[in-house]
Every structure is written in structure tokens, then in C-alpha cells.
Structure 1
Amino acid sequence: MDFYQSAGTLVLGSRLRRLGERFLSEVSKVYEAKGIEFDPSWFPVFYLLDEHKKLSMRDISDQLNVSHSAVSQLTTALIKKKLLKVEKDENDGRKRLILFTEKGEELVKKSKPIWASIQLSMKEITEQNECQILKELKILETSLTEKSLSERVLDNLEK
């Protein structure tokens, strides 16, 4: 029996990480095969900026539910690669907005057919197996928002 199967929920986080890494690795192969220099870890920021055109780091952080520091590190790296740029908000000069450069917009244009194919392929996988993973993940995320895992573990230790 597979280790992850036998350990069950005890290794759920490790199992989800392993699955995520597998997806990212497979998607990297697709970009490489198509000659597109795109790191799949950039996708959430690229997707948001493609939808909204300009966002502050705080907006990106809030929408992705990740730390401001993580967004800052990623956007700084993408600015160095000349894929993103920063401009001041016209309404609030203190606020900095992140947006695509021409090079970044061109990369999005090249990447969109891959995004569509990934979406179709993932839909095929989940429908073929009657998988309700998105629904189940939402339930799990909501439960963890209501009461964190650390709180639950500490409460159970007190019982």
C-alpha cells in the first residue's frame, strides 16, 4: 500500500504539496516543449494582472491569500525580468500599482493557449473520475478559516 494512503489525513499537507509539485512539474514541461519561458509559479500573479490590468501588492496579496512579502519577492523578480513594472496610482500617489510591460503582455498572449489547454485537461481528469476536488478543497479551506489547524491540534492535546 502507498505510504500516503496508509498514513491518511496525518500526511494530508505533504500529499497536497506532492500533488502540487507534480502539477507544476508537468506544466513546466509543456511550457518548455512550446519554447515559452514561463515559470508556473508566476501564474497566479499573471492571471490576476491579466484580469485586472493593474493591482497594488496588497490587492494581489489579499486576492491570492499569501503574504505581502511573498508577493513582493515575486513581483521584484518579475520586474527584474522586465515582465512587470510599477507605476504610481493616479488617485493616490503613495500607492504603487503593478502592471505588465510589453514583454509581459507578449508572454501572457503566448501563454493563454496553454492556460486554456491546462484548464481543459484538468477538467477532463476530474470529470473522468467524477472527482469533486475543487468543492472539497473549498470546504477544507473554509473549515481552516473558521478554526486553524494549529488551534485544533492544540485543543485536541488538551483533551
Structure 2
Amino acid sequence: MTDMHGVMLGAWLRRMSAMIDADVGRVYKAQGLKFEQRWFGVINQLALNGAMSVSTLAEALRINQASVSETRRSLEKAGFIQSTPDPADSRRRVLTLSPEGTALVARMRPMWDIFDEVALQIDTEAGQVTRKLEQLEKALQRKSLYARITERLDP
């Protein structure tokens, strides 16, 4: 039997994500900001690109539409984005930053630049782990973990 590194990969990634989210949340709180880390992707995409549909956001963030819709609801409730029916297809929603969201981004952008600098520093310290994570993602896109396991279970 091995040391179980493979089995622990998912737990390890969740633990690292939780550590990062907790620390970033502490920074926001210390700065007097009521901002949830899970909002960043949607807010950042809207700040960079302007109006976007839920499906376009999901594609840009490489997450499912249900996750974007859930984030949309909490961001609307917080007053940071506005959602309107898509003129081309009323079943779809188009999201934009609200005036409050635009002000929030202006306040947070310098902080996000610092986060990026610190993340690059940590990545260098950790031996360019982001490259390895990108390689892991590509390997799983080529062939899923499910496929790799089931082909061994059911030869």
C-alpha cells in the first residue's frame, strides 16, 4: 500500500482553498469590506468586460451556470450587480455592475493588485505550483479521474 497521496489530493486542494479563502476574508473584514471571496470571479469579469450573460460568465470562469446564478442572486441582494432580461432572449439574464458595484471595484482594485503580487510570491516560493495545477487540470480534461479509475475497476 502507498502513502495515499492520490486519494488525499481532493482533500488537500479543498484545504488549501479554504486557507486562502479564510485569509482573504480576514483581509476584507479588516478593511471594513463586506465582500465574499466567491463573488470575485463574477465581479472581476463584469468589471473587465461590462455586461455579460450568465452563460458567458460561466464559460469565462469555467464553472457551471448554476454556480454563476447562485452568485448572481447573492450579488444582487448585496446591491453590487444588476440583472436584466437579455433583449435577444428573455429567458437569459444580462448582468452588469451597479453603481455600488463599480464603486466597490474601484476601492478593491488596489487590494486585488496586492493579492496578485502576494500570490505570485507564494507561487515562486512553492516552486511554481500553479504550473503543476494547470498541468493537472489539462490531464483531467484529457481523461477524467472517473474514467481512469473505472477502467481499472472494470477491465
TM-score normalised by structure 1 residue count: 0.89
Matches within 5 A, 1:109-128: 109-128=106-125
SS of 1:127's equivalent? helix
SS of 1:145's equivalent? helix
- Residue segments in structure 2 that go unaligned for 5+ positions in a row: none
1:27 aligns with 2:24: yes
The aligned residue for residue 135 of structure 1 is 131
Contact 1:85/1:98 (8 A) holds in 2 = yes
Runs of 4+ in 1 over 4 A off after TM superposition: none
Deviation, structure 1 residue 96: 2.7
Deviations 1:60-95 (A, max 9, x none): 1111121111111110111111111023445x2534
* In 2: Cα distance, 1:150 partner to 1:9 partner: 13
Matches within 5 A, 1:1-159: 6-89=3-86, 92-94=88-90, 95-129=92-126, 131-159=127-155
The aligned residue for residue 3 of structure 1 is none
Please give the root-mean-square deviation of Cα atoms over the aligned residues, in Å. 1.4
* In 2: Cα distance, 1:128 partner to 1:13 partner: 22
- Residue segments in structure 1 that go unaligned for 5+ positions in a row: 1-5
* In 2: Cα distance, 1:70 partner to 1:127 partner: 31
Deviation, structure 1 residue 158: 2.2
SS of 2:82's equivalent? strand
* In 1: Cα distance, 2:74 partner to 2:139 partner: 34
* In 1: Cα distance, 2:18 partner to 2:107 partner: 23
Identity %: 26
Amino acid at match of 2:130: L
* In 1: Cα distance, 2:82 partner to 2:125 partner: 41
SS of 2:4's equivalent? helix
Contact 1:36/1:110 (8 A) holds in 2 = no
Amino acid at match of 1:82: G
TM-score normalised by structure 2 residue count: 0.91
Amino acid at match of 1:18: R
* In 1: Cα distance, 2:49 partner to 2:58 partner: 14
* In 1: Cα distance, 2:108 partner to 2:32 partner: 11
